[in-house]
Amino acid sequence: MRVRIRFQQDKVNINEVFDGATAEEIVGKMKERVRKELPFALRLLVGGMSNLMFAQETVKRYNEAQKKSLPPPKSCEEFLKMAQAEGLATLEA
């Protein structure tokens, strides 16, 4: 599975492709990529999150920034589908 993410919010700017066997693996790679750009305290916080928790926090912050009310994803697959629906991701099987 391959996913291209195009996202910019606050100090995080991502325009790259993530490969993985599962949505869980891809979200984990996204989490590590975002983590590198965060201040130390937030890096620690994000590092302690599961991949699903990271996806849910990402949607929460996206909702706040975009004044939307998307529901928190119940899985990493749902998170990637939501990102695609919002025009932030392109999924390739």
Question: Pick from 24, 29, 23: which is nearest to 14 by CA?
Answer: 29
Task: Extract long-range pairs of 20-28: CB within 8 Å, 24+ residues apart.
Answer: 22/76, 23/75, 23/76, 23/77, 23/79, 23/80, 24/51, 24/52, 24/76, 26/1, 26/76, 26/80, 27/51, 27/52, 27/54, 27/55, 27/76, 27/79, 27/80
Q: Kindly report, residue by residue over 6-39, the tens digit of the pLDDT.
A: 987 777 778 999 999 999 999 999 999 989 888 8
Handedness of CA 26, 27, 31, 34 (dihedral sign): positive
Rounded to two decimals, the pTM is 0.89
Average pLDDT of the residues in 72-77: 98
The pLDDT of residue 82 is 96
